[in-house]
Structure 1
Amino acid sequence: MHRQPLLNLLQSYTPVDADEQGMTAATIAFVEEYPNCFDRSLRIGHITGSAWIVSPDRQQVLLIHHRKLDRWLQPGGHADGDSDVAAVALREAQEETGLTSLQLVEDATGNVPVFDVDIHTIPARGDIPEHLHYDIRFLVEANPEEAFGFSDEIKNIRWFSAKEAISYADSESISRMARKKVKN
Structure 2
Amino acid sequence: MELAAGCRAVLAAWRPPDEDQERLRTAYLDHLRRHPDGWSRDCVGEHLTASSMIISPERDRVLLTLHRKLGRWLQTGGHIETADPDLGSAALREAAEESGLAELTLGPVLRLSRHEVPCGPVRPAYHLDVQYLITADPAQPPVVSSESTDVQWFSLDRLPAIDRTVRELIAAARRC
Query: Would you say same fold, with TM above 0.5?
Result: yes
The alpha carbon displacement at 1:128 in A equals 5.7
- Secondary structure of 1:90's aligned partner: helix
Higher normalized strand content (fraction of residues): 2
1:29-73 deviation digits (Å, cap 9, x = unpaired): 111211111221111111111111010111111111101011111
Letter paired with 1:51: S
Equivalent pairs: percent with the same residue? Answer: 33
CA distance in 1, matches of 2:46, 2:85: 15
Q: CA deviation at 1:9?
A: 1.6
Could you give the per-residue CA deviations for residues 90-113 of structure 1, whole angstroms, max 9, x where no partner exists? 1111111111011112xxxxxxx3
1:100 paired with 2:140, answer: no
Whole-Å separation in 1 of the counterparts to 2:174 and 2:21? 17
Superposed, which structure 2 residues align to 1:100-139 within 5 Å? 100-105=102-107, 113-123=108-118, 127=121, 129-139=123-133
User: Hey, what does 2:161 align to over in structure 1?
Assistant: 168
For the 8 Å contact 1:38–1:83, the answer to whether it is kept is no
Determine the structure 2 residue equivalent to 1:157: 151
Letter in 2 for 1:177: L
**Unpaired stretches in structure 2, ≥5 consecutive residues:** none
**Number of residue equivalences:** 174
Against the structure 1 CA distance between its residues 38 and 145, is the aligned structure 2 distance closer, same or farther, given a 3 Å change threshold? Answer: same
Aligned position for 1:109: none
Distance 1:83 1:119, change over 3 A: farther
Q: Which amino acid in 2 is paired with 1:148?
A: P
* Counterpart secondary structure, 1:51: strand
> Which AA in structure 1 matches 2:130?
I
Over 3 Å counting, the alpha-carbon distance change for 1:135 and 1:64 in structure 2 is: same
Structure 1 residues 129 and 136, CA gap change in structure 2 (3 angstroms): same
In the other structure, the counterpart of 1:31 is: 32
1:64-103 matches, cutoff 5 A = 64-81=65-82, 82=84, 84-103=86-105
Contact 1:63 1:72 in 2 (8 A): yes
1:129/1:83 CA distance change after superposition, 3 Å: farther
Residue in structure 2 matched with residue 57 of structure 1 by the alignment = 58
More displaced 10-residue stretch of structure 1: 11-20 or 51-60: 11-20
Question: Residue 93 of structure 1 aligns to which amino acid in structure 2?
Answer: A
For the residue of structure 2 that corresponds to 1:158, the secondary structure is strand
**How high is the TM-score relative to the length of structure 2?**
0.88
Secondary structure of the equivalent of 2:129?
A: strand
1:179 deviates by: 2.0
